[in-house]
Amino acid sequence: MNALSELTVAELARRLSAWGISDTHARRLLRTFYRTNELVQASDAARFPAVLLERVRSELPLRSTTLATRQVASDGTTKILLRLADGHTVESVLMPDFRPDRSAGCLSSQVGCAMSCDFCATAQGGFQRNLTSGEIVEQFLNLRGEAKSIGRELRTIVFMGMGEPLLNLDHLLPAIERIGANDLGGLGWRQITVSTVGIVPGIDALTATGWNLHLAVSIHAPDDSTRARLLPSGRRYGLDEILAAADRFQVRRGRPVILQYCLLAGVNDAPGQAQQLADLVGRRRMHVNLLRYNPTGMGLRGSAYQPSTDQAATHFAGVLKDRGVVAHFRRSRGPDIDAACGQLRQRFATAPG
Ligand code: SF4
């Protein structure tokens, strides 16, 4: 049975009509659910026909996931583990902003991941399945409720959790549409970032939506051969091809693409590699986010990666800045509960009891 979180306004309207109830209630009912994470609050109940609420309560579960665990890190980052109806689990993360009333969310798009990035914990469990649009929406609603419970507002979300979002477009785009739309999730396109390892057709599909989203591309190396060692998906699309797609996004959407670069000692952090990266960025107005490596144990192919030293990382950033590239270090959030980038994974056995 589909949960309410899976439905668009049009789908809910059709369901109401099939029940012989006016479909004019569909938008308001769904909006209330997105606003409160409940079907209806007691103070609102009188606004809906009793027969409608009864029918929904008996035939349409609100959500299909349940909260399995919740962990809070020393820096206030909260990691939520949701159990899906089939027993799989996914993680999403709430990160408090430096502004006291705001926070940001990191959402997963797949159970596991097929991209096999060598330094990523998610990759170690392999790919299980795509998340449905409702499972993605439910992560958003949970994080929004979590933020509210600590007196903050969930202001931005990024699809940077488990999985490659652009390999799950069929469910990702409808979920984003409902989360971003003014009359449902109300987050707004500008508050949403999609992060990819560089799936070129997916970047073009995102460009074609016309939504004013942010795009982040994980490149992690300035040349194709180093990149292919770290991200096997790099063999499928070369950096030139990926950056050309990112250029198309930037031109159409008018907002700088973010290039993510995780600094690994002795692998991609040499000054010469910073020069190569600066050459790649060239006149593009793209921004570089430099990430500190969060140890995940042995890589998939047996390499034991180490984060760059502070000295090497500072020098790398200095070379970029001297060449006119806008580069920032991104703060690691929640590493003590394995909530930082690349550390998310399935925690529990996936087979239902
Ligand atoms: S870094 Fe992202 S794309 Fe790569 S394996 Fe991990 S979850 Fe997948």
Cα angle vertex 182, ends 177, 183, to 5°? 95
**Domain map (residue ranges) of the chain:** 4-59, 66-337
CA of 302 relative to ligand 1 center, distance in Å? 17
Task: Say what the pTM is.
Answer: 0.92
Ligand 1, residue 344: give the atom nearest the CA. Answer: 7
State residue 303's pLDDT score.
74
Composition of the chain by helix, strand, coil, percent to 5 = 40, 20, 40
Substitution site in 106, 107, 108, 113 for ligand 1 pocket (most atoms within 8 Å of beta carbon):
113
CATH 3.20.20.70 applies to domain 66-337: yes
CB-ligand 1 contact for 344 (6 Å cutoff): no
State residue 353's pLDDT score.
27
Known catalytic membership, residue 59: no
**Contact at 8 Å (CB) between 265 and 311?**
no
| Secondary structure of residue 38 in the 3-state scheme | coil
* Pairwise CA distance, residues 319 & 240, whole Å: 22
CA of 115 relative to ligand 1 center, distance in Å? 6
Using CA of residue 298, residue 301, residue 304, residue 308, what is the dihedral sign? negative
CB-ligand 1 contact for 281 (6 Å cutoff): no
CA of 59 relative to ligand 1 center, distance in Å? 37
* Pairwise CA distance, residues 73 & 140, whole Å: 20
Substitution site in 119, 130, 131, 197 for ligand 1 pocket (most atoms within 8 Å of beta carbon):
197
Task: Return the half-sphere exposure (C-beta side, CA atoms, 13 A cut-off) of residue 126.
Answer: 2
State residue 337's pLDDT score.
58
CA of 78 relative to ligand 1 center, distance in Å? 20
Q: Quick one: angle between helices 169-180 and 200-209, nearest 10?
A: 30
Q: Which of 91, 138, 146, 164 is catalytic?
A: 91
State residue 352's pLDDT score.
29
CB-ligand 1 contact for 117 (6 Å cutoff): yes
CB-ligand 1 contact for 222 (6 Å cutoff): no
Structure tokens at 325: 């590239």
Query: How does DSSP assign 118-175, residue by residue?
Result: TT-TGGGG-EEEEPPHHHHHHHHHHHHHHHHHTT-EEEEEEE-SSS-GGG-HHHHHHH
CB-ligand 1 contact for 162 (6 Å cutoff): yes
CB-ligand 1 contact for 29 (6 Å cutoff): no
Structure tokens at 336: 């003590």
Given a cut of 70, the residues of the chain with pLDDT beneath it are 1, 297-298, 300, 302, 332-353
CA of 353 relative to ligand 1 center, distance in Å? 28
State residue 39's pLDDT score.
86
2-38: pLDDT as tens digits: 899 999 999 999 999 999 999 999 999 999 999 988 8
